[in-house]
């Protein structure tokens, strides 16, 4: 299992042993306190510090407060009541801030108290940005804090009835169990892993699970944090690497293959001139196949071209209408309906390479048509969104993509079609990213698929004369 973000985990440790800090006014009323302070003393803002000082120390406390106001800075010890029942003598530092007329109290908790289970482990802060679970070596959960409902769609009370083993079994890949977790923590001091989680609604999230052990109480502290955004970025970067490899490979072999293909094509055409009807049939098949080889080659080469070249200002709606015009006859022939709905309030323009962008939409529309039976509907929308971006949505009522394939469709050569190259979507992703855009997909098996492309638009006042735009998009 991967270990990283030591800093973050260190911070996580520090938070866990945070010392109590409070700000009070000159009457000893609590104005502000950190989580540890409110947890260990069970007090809230506007309570009086006198409530948590033992009876016999009350006079001492009043003296300390007066001394602090005069001397500005006092270090002392005081007998206090923790968790509303336990009495301990604690060292504390007090500072008087003249400008705000407030006193800051900083406490050093006695060793025994810091290691009481209820302080160190069981008193989880209530406001947590993640989910924390405390359990013993057998996986029996002692306490849960934080976003139980958000992470597992369960209340804290419900999770408390689970064992850690049961919680870990909720992750579909089953690569982590209590035994692995305990072994890693015992050997390495801590453990960290990212696991996939699927919500009941079908939403896929990625959770980082980190665990440490408190050697005095022998309890394990498990922190679960949503890491979906970071994981997806990492996956996209991994795709980029594989695209780069395909590109390099393509560049090196394309040249070698192009020449013999040209020769084959030339001779086939020559043979066709004199061929008899029967031979002509086979020669036509050879020619079609050569044509397909050329197409594959040029798609591979497209992947290897790194940046946007021949940039132009392009009208988004114009570009898409043009592509729809190209595929309309095919759709009609196959009895598939096309619905179009364009943003009309803005003239949306982007800067890009028209040829490649056309190819992007052709690929997507072709995929959608291929996924649908006759009677299916393909919808194309454009809509301007906040921050000067455009969303282009291509939605079909096709067969959909199951979750396992959904993770692979942008990988070069991934295809489920017998005559597919699997280079269509990698080209789409690369081209969109070259144009500073993003692609997202959602799909439901048996219902259909939606691709959403988002591109940055050029500023309105740059949205040049419509005539020029028309000319550019033909």
Ligand X SMILES: Nc1ncnc2c1ncn2[C@@H]1O[C@H](COP(=O)(O)OP(=O)(O)OP(=O)(O)O)[C@@H](O)[C@H]1O
Residues in touch with ligand X (CB under 6 A): 363, 367-368, 371, 396, 398-399, 401, 405, 409, 414-417, 420-425, 449
Q: What is the DSSP letter of 170?
A: T
Give 55 or 418: the residue with its C-beta nearer to ligand X: 418
The CA distance from 49 to 32, in Å, is 12
Give 35 or 415: the residue with its C-beta nearer to ligand X: 415
How far is CA 201 from each of CA 12, 235, 391, rounded to the nearest angstrom?
A: 31, 23, 24
Q: What is the largest CA-CA distance in the chain?
A: 118
- Residue 326: CB minimum distance to ligand X, A: 16
The phi and psi torsions of 377 (rounded to 5 degrees) equal -125, 130
Helix pair 277-304, 228-274: axis angle to 10 deg: 150
Give 28 or 424: the residue with its C-beta nearer to Mg ion: 424
- Residue 427: CB minimum distance to ligand X, A: 8
- Residue 406: CB minimum distance to ligand X, A: 9
- Residue 366: CB minimum distance to Mg ion, A: 6
- Residue 36: CB minimum distance to ligand X, A: 52
Helix pair 424-434, 228-274: axis angle to 10 deg: 120
Give 353 or 396: the residue with its C-beta nearer to ligand X: 396
Please, are residues 223 and 130 in contact by the beta-carbon 8 Å criterion? yes
- Residue 418: CB minimum distance to ligand X, A: 9
- Residue 148: CB minimum distance to ligand X, A: 36
**Sites of contact with Mg ion (CB under 5 A):** 367, 424
Give 109 or 428: the residue with its C-beta nearer to Mg ion: 428
Give 259 or 404: the residue with its C-beta nearer to ligand X: 404
Q: Which does 409 bind (CB under 5 to 8 A by kind): Mg ion, ligand X, none?
A: ligand X
Q: Which does 449 bind (CB under 5 to 8 A by kind): ligand X, Mg ion, none?
A: ligand X
The tokens for 422 are 């699997």
The CA distance from 355 to 474, in Å, is 12
Give 212 or 423: the residue with its C-beta nearer to ligand X: 423
How far is CA 382 from each of CA 104, 135, 222, rounded to the nearest angstrom?
A: 57, 51, 45
Please, are residues 167 and 177 in contact by the beta-carbon 8 Å criterion? no
Q: Which does 317 bind (CB under 5 to 8 A by kind): ligand X, Mg ion, none?
A: none
Write the DSSP assignment of 379-415 as a string of letters: EEEEEEETTTEEEEEEEE-S----HHHHTTTTSTT--
Helix pair 316-333, 466-473: axis angle to 10 deg: 40
- Residue 421: CB minimum distance to Mg ion, A: 8
The tokens for 389 are 């971006």
- Residue 422: CB minimum distance to Mg ion, A: 8
Give 143 or 449: the residue with its C-beta nearer to ligand X: 449
How far is C-alpha 418 from the geometric centre of its chain's CA atoms?
Answer: 33
- Residue 320: CB minimum distance to ligand X, A: 16
CA torsion 401-404-410-415 (nearest 10°) is -70
How far is CA 370 from each of CA 392, 417, 442, rounded to the nearest angstrom?
A: 19, 9, 17
Give 38 or 367: the residue with its C-beta nearer to Mg ion: 367
Q: Which long-range contacts (CB under 8 A, 24 or more apart) does 80-84 make?
A: 80/41, 80/52, 80/53, 80/54, 81/41, 81/52, 81/53, 81/54, 82/40, 82/41, 82/113, 82/119, 83/40, 83/41, 83/42, 83/118, 83/119, 84/41, 84/42
Give 399 or 435: the residue with its C-beta nearer to ligand X: 399
Q: Which does 396 bind (CB under 5 to 8 A by kind): ligand X, Mg ion, none?
A: ligand X
Q: Which does 51 bind (CB under 5 to 8 A by kind): Mg ion, ligand X, none?
A: none
């Amino acid at each position: 299992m991967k270990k990283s973000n030591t800093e973050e985990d260190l911070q996580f440790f520090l938070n866990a042993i945070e010392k109590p800090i409070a700000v009070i006014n000159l009457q000893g009323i609590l104005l502000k306190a950190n989580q540890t302070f409110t947890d260990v003393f069970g007090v809230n803002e506007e309570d009086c510090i006198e409530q948590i000082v033992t009876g016999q120390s009350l006079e001492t406390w009043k003296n300390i407060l007066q001394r602090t106001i005069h001397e500005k800075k006092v270090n002392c010890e005081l007998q206090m009541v923790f968790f509303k029942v336990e009495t301990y003598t604690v060292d504390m530092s007090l500072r008087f801030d003249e400008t705000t007329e407030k006193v800051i109290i900083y406490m050093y908790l006695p060793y025994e108290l810091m290691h009481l289970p209820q302080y160190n482990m069981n008193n989880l802060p209530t406001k947590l940005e993640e989910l924390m679970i405390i359990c013993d070596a057998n996986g029996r959960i002692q306490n849960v804090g934080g976003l139980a409902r958000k992470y597992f769609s369960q209340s804290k009370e419900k999770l408390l009835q689970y064992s850690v083993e049961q919680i870990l079994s909720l992750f579909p890949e089953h690569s982590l169990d209590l035994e692995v977790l305990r072994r890693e923590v015992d050997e390495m001091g801590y453990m960290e892993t990212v696991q996939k989680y699927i919500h009941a609604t079908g939403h896929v999230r990625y959770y980082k699970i980190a665990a440490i052990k408190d050697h005095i109480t022998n309890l394990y502290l498990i922190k679960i944090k949503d890491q979906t955004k970071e994981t997806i970025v990492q996956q996209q970067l991994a795709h980029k690497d594989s695209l780069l490899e395909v590109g390099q490979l393509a560049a090196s072999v394309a040249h070698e293959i192009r020449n013999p293909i040209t020769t084959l094509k030339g001779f086939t055409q020559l043979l066709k001139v004199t061929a008899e009807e029967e031979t002509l049939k086979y020669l036509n098949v050879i020619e079609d196949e050569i044509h397909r080889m050329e197409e594959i080659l040029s798609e591979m080469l497209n992947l290897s071209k790194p940046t946007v070249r021949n940039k132009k200002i392009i009208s988004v709606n114009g570009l898409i209408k043009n592509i729809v015009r190209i595929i309309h006859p095919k759709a009609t022939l196959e009895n598939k309906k096309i619905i179009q709905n364009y943003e009309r309030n803005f003239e949306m323009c982007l800067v890009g390479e028209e040829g490649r962008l056309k190819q992007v939409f052709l690929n997507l529309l072709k995929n959608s048509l291929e996924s649908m039976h006759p009677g299916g509907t393909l919808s194309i929308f454009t809509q301007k969104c906040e921050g000067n971006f455009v969303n282009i949505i291509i939605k079909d009522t096709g067969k959909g993509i199951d979750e396992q394939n959904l993770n692979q469709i942008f990988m070069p050569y991934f295809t489920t079609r017998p005559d597919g190259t699997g280079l269509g979507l990698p080209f789409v992703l690369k081209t969109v990213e070259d144009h500073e855009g993003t692609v997202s997909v959602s799909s439901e098996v048996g219902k259909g698929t939606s691709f959403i492309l988002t591109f940055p638009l050029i500023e309105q006042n740059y949205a040049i004369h419509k005539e020029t735009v028309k000319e550019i998009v033909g």
